[in-house]
A = this chain, B = another copy of it.
């Protein structure tokens, strides 16, 4: 790989095509991943490079797609199954949570299920209540499933590459609002380790812990806080929610004494709750304020762009909340 400017989408494709070149057991399967090239174009042209036996267009059968990936992973393949929208995870939850996640344990450690389930979520396309959700909370609450959610072009590439090395099932959730984002892949920069959070911005006053597209909202908000309101916020990109890297977060929160978690998923019972609870448990004596949750509203997503945009955290809301913390 040479240093290159690319997009989140193409970085994902690069990771897939490199993995398929390096390892014949890697296959891609899902709805429209072949001839169509993927609903969001991530698998474009892979079928001409690797053929229809390794880039497999499936019927619209989400449950069996995941189930077939489980069986393939148990018998020597490294399947990358694609779920076109994370909103369709409901159809697959039995195969994902009762089978993929538990097989190693139930069978006493005889075998793992080294599969990757690629999917995408989030708002931004007026796609309505069944095509705009952020359902990582279901996955994080399921022991046995790894969970990666790249926010940057670099991580789209490196996390997917690393997911394909994991011995256990990985749910890999992209954000539909990031596919066209540009960034640079530099082979000379050592990638962050799998399972490690990254501090994308330092800041002594407040620690913002987030992931996926909200990383960019948090960074924009932190800039504004710094320039307009004199608040210096650190921004931590979790990158993976399982494993969860608390070691990176702890010292920052202990130092700043204030933390905010930002998630596009609905607030109640979601990822933001886990992060807030965890930070509080581990850093209680250092906290000046309760850990603040800025998360998706406890409602479905509307097709109306106005309602859609305001159903999830915006940079404005992050700034506004931080200002209240220091009011």
Contact = CB atoms under 8 A, between A and B. Distances in A.
Nearest to A271: B269
Contact of A300 (B87, B143, B269, B271): B143
Interface string A209-247: 000000000000000000000000000000000101000
Interface string A60-72: 0001000000000
A192 interface: no
A244 B298 CA distance: 13
Interface string A89-116: 1111111111001100110000000000
A276 B280 contact: yes
Given A91-B93, A93-B90, A94-B91, A280 B291 contact: yes
Given A91-B94, A130-B98, A144 B300 contact: yes
Given A268-B143, A276-B277, A280-B280, A101 B300 contact: yes
A313 interface: no
Contacts of A81: none
A128 B98 CA distance: 11
A141 B97 CA distance: 16
Nearest to A303: B106
A223 B136 CA distance: 39
B281 A293 contact: yes
Q: Report which residue of A130, A290, A291, A299 has the largest number of chain B beta carbons within 10 angstroms of its beta carbon.
A: A290
A141 B268 contact: yes
For the complex formed by this chain, how many copies does it contain in all?
A: 2
A84 to B, nearest CB: 13
Contacts of A36: none
A298 B143 CA distance: 5
A269 B284 CA distance: 19
A98 B87 contact: yes
Contacts of A299: 105, 143
Interface of A: 63, 87-98, 101-102, 105-106, 128-130, 137-138, 140-144, 242, 244, 265-266, 268-274, 276-278, 280-281, 284, 287, 289-293, 298-300, 302
27 contacts: A63-B91, A88-B94, A90-B94, A90-B96, A90-B98, A91-B93, A91-B94, A101-B300, A102-B129, A106-B129, A106-B130, A137-B269, A138-B141, A140-B269, A141-B141, A141-B270, A143-B268, A143-B298, A143-B300, A144-B300, A268-B274, A269-B269, A269-B271, A269-B273, A272-B277, A276-B281, A277-B293
